[in-house]
Amino acid sequence: MESWKLALALLGPAAACASDAPGSDGADRGESDADTDADSDTDTDTDVEGWDADAIAVEMQFGFEQSTGTIHDVTWIDEVQPNQLGAMLINRDDYTSSSSPTKWCWISFAIPEGTIVANDDFDETYWLSFGVDDADVTYSNDVFEGWTGDCEHVRSFWGIDRGSLDLVSFARTLGIGFGIKSFDDVDSGTVADWRDRIWPQYQEPTFGPWEEVEPAFAGGAVTFAGQGPVDVNIMVGLMVDPMTWLMVYDPKTNSTPDATLEGVTAPPPTAYYTSIIMYTLAM
């Protein structure tokens, strides 16, 4: 089944992260909720028609220890940062046409400390890969201020029917996985599109000029529902102190420095890795 690689901005808040981790690409459109559903109940509506998800945006965040090749918790200002794969299931028509879309659902797959569960869809090109079919799963209708999603009434994703499965069980059947690799191994046409079209318009105001930050880039790819791997994200590594597992703080820039990933081979350096979502995929 062919998929469309949609520019990040087409689906707007699909780029938002589920946490306020430093270096995340969180975006908040903050529209008011224009839901006209007259129901007074909340998550247990039985009169709301189910909806079909035909687009997905994926983010990845994790602390990594190079010497052991394992996941590690990382702290920033007394707050442990998430180790997670986040996936946003979206009904594209609703999401692109409504000022306050409701047909979306944020799903988070926890990545526990310790040994990484690899994903067989990713070959030796990738530094790391993550399989989450057996991960702890949570979901949320409330990751954007002023918006309310509708996880409970997801009927299908990418043509896969949910049937009688609860949402957590359904999420585990979707074959969602993530891989990280050298930026040199990202498809050259994709890199050109990101560099020339998407970055200047949507990311440069936050992260700076492409040529200045590219040495910190790795590639992030996603697989799901038999698709992929498909290059969708830029990954950056934020420096951590491996003795304390605190994120490094630079008072001159009031930020955490990026790890240089240019020329790196597997395994990547110790860092807290976080994604910049560049593509949302749609049927």
Q: What is the pLDDT of residues 34-72, one digit of tens each?
A: 333 333 334 444 444 799 999 999 999 999 999 999 999
Q: Any idea how long the chain is?
A: 283
Beta bridge partners of 7: 279
- Which pLDDT score, from 0 to 100, does residue 279 have? 94
Residues 6+ away with beta carbon under 8 Å from 122: 129, 177, 179, 221, 223, 229
Beta strand pairing call for 154-157 and 177-182: unpaired
- Alpha helices per DSSP H over the chain: 92-97, 167-172, 188-193, 204-207, 210-213
In a domain, 269, yes or no: yes
Identify the pLDDT of residue 269: 97
* pLDDT score for 144: 85
Paired strand residues for 221 = 179, 231
**4 in a domain, yes or no?**
no
pLDDT number for residue 4 = 52
Report pTM. 0.84
Which residues 6+ apart lie within 8 Å of 5 measured at CB?
190, 230, 232, 279, 281
17 inside domain: no
Pairing outcome for strands 154-157 and 51-53: parallel
Angle, CA of 92, 180 and 230, to the nearest 5°: 35
- Kindly state the greatest CA–CA separation across the chain: 57
pLDDT at 15: 35
Both tokens of 119, joined, read: 């994903």
pLDDT, one tens digit per residue, over 119-157 is 999 999 999 999 999 999 999 999 888 889 999 999 999
> Burial code of 177-207, b = ≥16 C-beta within 10 A, e = fewer?
bbbbbbbeebeeebbebbeeebbeebbeeeb
pLDDT at residue number 49: 73
**Residues spanned by the domain of 222:** 51-282
Residues of the chain with pLDDT under 50: 1-3, 5, 8-48
Find the helix or strand (DSSP H, E) in which 141 lies. none
- What's residue 163's pLDDT? 95
Residue 71 in domain: yes
Q: Tell me, what's the pLDDT at 24?
A: 34
Bond before 215 cis per omega within 30 degrees:
no
Assigned domain for 13 exists? no
Residue 44 covered by a domain: no
Residue 40 lies in a domain: no
CA 255 to chain CA centroid, nearest Å: 21
Check residue 194 and give its pLDDT.
96
Q: How many domains does the chain have?
A: 1
Query: Considering the domain boundaries, does residue 34 fall inside one?
Result: no
